[in-house]
């Protein structure tokens, strides 16, 4: 659990959840979407060991993640103030679920969980992984709630868009 938490701390996923939580009041839906996606992605990794990275080349996984982050960033940057209400009506459960499902494949925490599952009882690895990821997601949501009360929503939206684009570009570079 500690190794997974250390690997995930400050990761793109946590930053994404923090930014998404600053754009909604439905934090429980956001949490549930994220946890369900983590359960699927990491659960499959634990079941399959490192099989996923042999089926889908890691470079493709990075490219898909990069494109998803850049597209989200661009949409955040081009959204206007009048669209803010529309953004709040969107489903944060689906947003978190989709974001994690599309970007977590091949992530270091998924690979770490798969490796631990080859050495330890998969059920314990799954529960440890899910505990760590849930706690970190709760922390990200908490800080997102604080940010939204202290900063202008336009500024948050622009910063979030820029951060998503930078993360996407980093996938292409690294």
Tokens representing residue 3 in the block: 């190794």
> Quick check: 150 pLDDT over 50?
yes
Residue 167 reports pLDDT greater than 60: yes
State the Cα angle at 87 between 80 and 73, rounded to 5°.
65
Domain, as residue range, for 53 = 2-173
For residue range 82-130, what is the model confidence (pLDDT) as tens digits?
344 434 437 889 989 988 888 787 777 777 787 777 777 888 989 999 9
174 vs 171: CA distance, rounded Å: 5
Q: Is the confidence at residue 48, as pLDDT, over 60?
A: yes
Domain count, the chain: 1
> What are the backbone angles phi and psi of residue 77, rounded to the nearest 5°?
-70, -35
Residues 87 and 25 sit within 8 Å (Cβ to Cβ) = no
């Amino acid at each position: 659990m500690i190794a997974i938490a250390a690997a995930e701390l400050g990761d793109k996923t946590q930053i994404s959840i923090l930014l998404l939580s600053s754009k909604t009041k439905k934090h429980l839906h956001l949490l549930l979407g994220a946890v369900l996606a983590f359960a699927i992605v990491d659960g499959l990794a634990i079941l399959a060991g490192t099989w996923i990275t042999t089926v889908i080349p890691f470079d493709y996984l990075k490219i898909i993640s990069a494109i998803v982050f850049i597209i989200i960033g661009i949409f955040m940057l081009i959204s206007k103030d009048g669209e803010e209400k529309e953004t709040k009506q969107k489903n944060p459960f689906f947003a978190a679920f989709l974001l994690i499902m599309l970007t977590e494949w091949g992530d270091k925490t998924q690979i770490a969980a798969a490796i631990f599952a080859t050495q330890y009882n998969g059920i314990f690895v799954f529960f440890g992984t899910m505990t760590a990821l849930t706690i970190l997601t709760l922390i990200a949501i908490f800080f997102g709630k604080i940010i939204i009360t202290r900063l202008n929503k336009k500024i948050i939206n622009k910063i979030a868009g820029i951060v998503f684009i930078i993360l996407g570009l980093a996938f292409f570079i690294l």
